[in-house]
């Protein structure tokens, strides 16, 4: 009998344990084989699966497979396989083990049928992923990882508080539609929003991802944010607020990406931009919009992994990733350049590439449901994607100028991982039915409608024309060596300076108070010392009769009070 009730996270945790105790080719074979078998196990499941268990007075569902979660399960397995394959050449046990634990915890959160199970894997997801940042073993990576961990664990604390309030309000831990009718729902939404990189809550992503290892960033790009997108699709479909949050996410990263010098940081801002489309689709909440959000998450995991892999290959071979330091690499890394261009065309939503067949569903849903302004915002954001990810990444890395660096193609496992991702980008774009039949709702959507094709093609070509013209005119922002802070300025600069000011002020008050206390203590010491000097009043010998008289007076006063106020 097929073990349908085996939770999807178990094979990954087993693989992590085996990666800890094995070495060399055996480790590589075991990791890839277990992930492949886990994917096949999910593929051959016949219908939905629900595993229940009793915990105190609550019924938990630690493993649930349905039409929504299984789509993410498929692409998570693809991402895990590609990420592990891309990292096979490294000998760092910590990265292999933590990468598998990270992917496994994402699986656990994905198939959690109750909020308590979700919370457990939500925290494992945070802790396991930070080691992929620290694995770079630099001071910047350590500091960035600490900030990342604080924010991620904070998201878990907020989730815990929200689920406790939710249970008090509803009496159930079931993880399905939650909504915003009570405080618990808002707190859970905030926790999901942090991991989804909502505006002003996104800085952990652009701070930590560029500091991770070349292979670690590929893992990071696939799981944390897409797990959060899944939770939003599960718990908050049709929440109108998400439409405007998503539209904002789709737009504001463009302006930061344009001025970034670090190309992996450009991709990090681009990742937020793409998440905005998904959040917007979830906010619209119709079957077409949810299908669009899910399909966009699916293809995004693949083409974003491809782009991060291509930049990881550049970093691995050259030790550099800033646009000012590299360029002209197509001469010695032509295969990587071609694969990067395929990823760039996919994220830019060129027809016949995977991004086109997913993004168009969300935009069609926005127009169909009466959100023309949102449609226009998403259209402009699409042009921005072409500029900062579709052109800026391959252009500055491989063609902009000759940096003089002469290297070679990355190891074969890296090239193979990128080739698999590139093949999927083309296959899904050419034959979208392959993806559409996996979606949670049946659809007959045709992305290659003449209107969609013409509108997107015109947009892309005019955006490319604008890029070329701005470059020829010398108006386009040049590459600059600089550090750009956005909302993180609030806590990395403003809050730090505010704390320093307050500390300085408190220290000043503290010093002043100490002087006053010292003066008063010195005065008291001097006073008592003077009274007890040999010539002081405290040394005068007084007659015993005086003391007897004082005692008699006190005794009389006590007797008078006792008689005057009897109990």
Please check whether residues 231 and 257 belong to one and the same domain.
no
Please check whether residues 40 and 132 belong to one and the same domain.
yes
Q: What pTM does this model have?
A: 0.86
Please check whether residues 179 and 41 belong to one and the same domain.
yes
Question: Residue 3's pLDDT band (boundaries 50, 70, 90)?
Answer: low
Please check whether residues 363 and 375 belong to one and the same domain.
yes
- Per the prediction, the chain carries an average pLDDT of 88
Can you list the alpha helix ranges (DSSP code H) found in 431-543? 433-436, 450-473, 489, 495-531
Our count of domains for the chain comes to: 3
Please check whether residues 110 and 22 belong to one and the same domain.
yes
Would you state the pLDDT for residue 538? 55
Please check whether residues 242 and 208 belong to one and the same domain.
no
* Residue-wise pLDDT tens digits, 5-47: 788 999 999 999 999 999 989 999 999 999 999 999 999 887 7
The answer to which of 195-204, 256-265, 463-472, 483-492 has the lowest mean pLDDT is: 483-492
Please check whether residues 216 and 358 belong to one and the same domain.
no
Q: For residues 126 and 109, what is the distance between their CA atoms, to the nearest angstrom?
A: 12
Please check whether residues 281 and 330 belong to one and the same domain.
yes
Can you list the alpha helix ranges (DSSP code H) found in 183-261? 183-195, 203-208, 216-235, 241-258
Q: For residues 481 and 398, what is the distance between their CA atoms, to the nearest angstrom?
A: 18
Would you state the pLDDT for residue 242? 96
Q: Where is the domain boundary, 435, 463, 485?
A: 485
Would you state the pLDDT for residue 85? 96
Nearest to 230 by CA among 173, 153, 282, 292: 282
Would you state the pLDDT for residue 566? 64
Quick check: 1 pLDDT over 50? Answer: no
Q: Where is the domain boundary, 458, 485, 512?
A: 485
* Residue-wise pLDDT tens digits, 53-112: 887 778 888 999 999 999 999 999 999 999 999 999 999 999 999 999 999 999 999 999
Please check whether residues 178 and 144 belong to one and the same domain.
yes
* Residue-wise pLDDT tens digits, 395-447: 888 887 787 888 889 999 999 999 999 999 999 999 999 999 999 999 889 98
* Residue-wise pLDDT tens digits, 305-364: 999 999 999 999 999 998 888 888 988 999 999 999 999 999 988 899 999 999 889 999
Please check whether residues 168 and 43 belong to one and the same domain.
yes
Q: Which residues contact 412 (CB under 8 A, 6 or more apart)?
A: none
Please check whether residues 93 and 185 belong to one and the same domain.
yes
Please check whether residues 161 and 193 belong to one and the same domain.
yes
Question: Residue 247's pLDDT band (boundaries 50, 70, 90)?
Answer: very high
The answer to which of 191-195, 416-420, 512-516 has the lowest mean pLDDT is: 512-516
Would you state the pLDDT for residue 133? 95
Q: Which domain holds residue 74?
A: 1-235
Q: Where is the domain boundary, 180, 205, 235?
A: 235
Question: Residue 541's pLDDT band (boundaries 50, 70, 90)?
Answer: low
Nearest to 4 by CA among 34, 35, 52, 47: 47
């Amino acid at each position: 009998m097929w073990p349908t009730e085996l939770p999807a996270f178990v094979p990954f945790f087993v693989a992590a344990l085996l990666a800890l105790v094995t070495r060399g080719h055996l480790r590589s074979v075991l990791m890839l084989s277990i992930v492949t078998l886990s994917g096949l196990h999910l593929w051959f499941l016949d219908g939905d699966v629900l595993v229940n268990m009793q915990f105190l007075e609550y019924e938990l569902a630690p493993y649930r497979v349905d039409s929504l979660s299984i789509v993410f399960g498929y692409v998570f397995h693809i991402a895990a396989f590609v990420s592990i394959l891309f990292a096979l050449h490294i000998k760092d046990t910590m990265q292999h083990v933590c990468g598998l634990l990270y992917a496994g915890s994402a699986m656990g959160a994905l198939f959690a049928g109750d909020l308590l199970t979700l919370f457990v894997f939500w925290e494992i997801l945070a802790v396991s992923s930070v080691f992929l940042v620290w694995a770079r073993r630099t001071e910047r990576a350590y500091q960035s990882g600490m900030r990342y961990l604080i924010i991620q664990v904070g998201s878990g604390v907020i989730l815990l508080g929200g689920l406790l309030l939710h249970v008090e309000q509803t009496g159930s831990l079931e993880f399905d539609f939650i909504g915003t009718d009570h405080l618990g729902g808002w707190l859970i939404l905030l926790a999901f929003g942090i991991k989804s990189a909502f505006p002003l809550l996104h800085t952990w992503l652009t701070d930590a991802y560029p500091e991770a290892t070349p292979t670690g960033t590929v893992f990071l790009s696939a799981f944390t944010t897409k797990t959060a997108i899944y939770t939003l699709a599960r718990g908050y479909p049709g929440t109108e607020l998400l439409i405007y949050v998503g539209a904002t996410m789709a737009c504001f990263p463009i302006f930061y990406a344009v001025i970034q010098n670090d190309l992996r940081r450009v991709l990090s801002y681009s990742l937020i931009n793409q998440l905005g489309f998904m959040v917007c689709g979830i906010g619209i909440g119709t079957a077409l919009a949810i299908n669009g959000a899910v399909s966009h998450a699916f293809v995004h995991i693949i083409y974003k992994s491809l782009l991060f892999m291509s930049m990881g290959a550049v970093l691995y071979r050259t030790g550099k990733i800033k646009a000012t330091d590299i360029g002209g690499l197509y001469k010695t890394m032509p295969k990587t350049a071609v694969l990067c261009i395929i990823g760039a065309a996919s994220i830019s939503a060129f027809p016949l590439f995977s991004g086109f067949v997913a993004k168009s569903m969300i935009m069609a849903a926005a127009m169909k449901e009466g959100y023309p302004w949102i449609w226009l915002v998403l259209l402009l954001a699409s042009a921005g994607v072409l500029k900062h990810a579709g052109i800026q990444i391959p252009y500055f890395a491989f063609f902009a100028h000759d940096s003089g660096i002469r290297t070679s193609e990355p190891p074969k496992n890296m090239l193979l991982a990128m080739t698999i991702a590139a093949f999927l980008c083309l296959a899904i774009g050419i034959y979208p039915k392959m993806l559409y039949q996996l979606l949670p709702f049946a659809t007959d959507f045709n992305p290659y409608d003449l209107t969609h094709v013409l509108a997107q093609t015109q947009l892309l070509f005019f955006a490319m024309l604008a890029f070329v013209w701005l470059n020829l005119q010398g108006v386009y922002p040049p590459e600059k060596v600089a550090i750009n802070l956005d909302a993180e300025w609030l806590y990395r600069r403003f809050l730090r300076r505010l704390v320093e000011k307050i500390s300085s002020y408190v220290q000043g008050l503290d010093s002043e108070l100490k002087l006053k206390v010292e003066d008063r203590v010195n005065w008291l010491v001097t006073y008592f010392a003077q009274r007890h000097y040999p010539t002081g009043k405290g040394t005068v010998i007084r007659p015993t009769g005086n003391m007897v008289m004082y005692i008699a007076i006190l005794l009389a006063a006590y007797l008078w009070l006792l008689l005057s106020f009897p109990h």
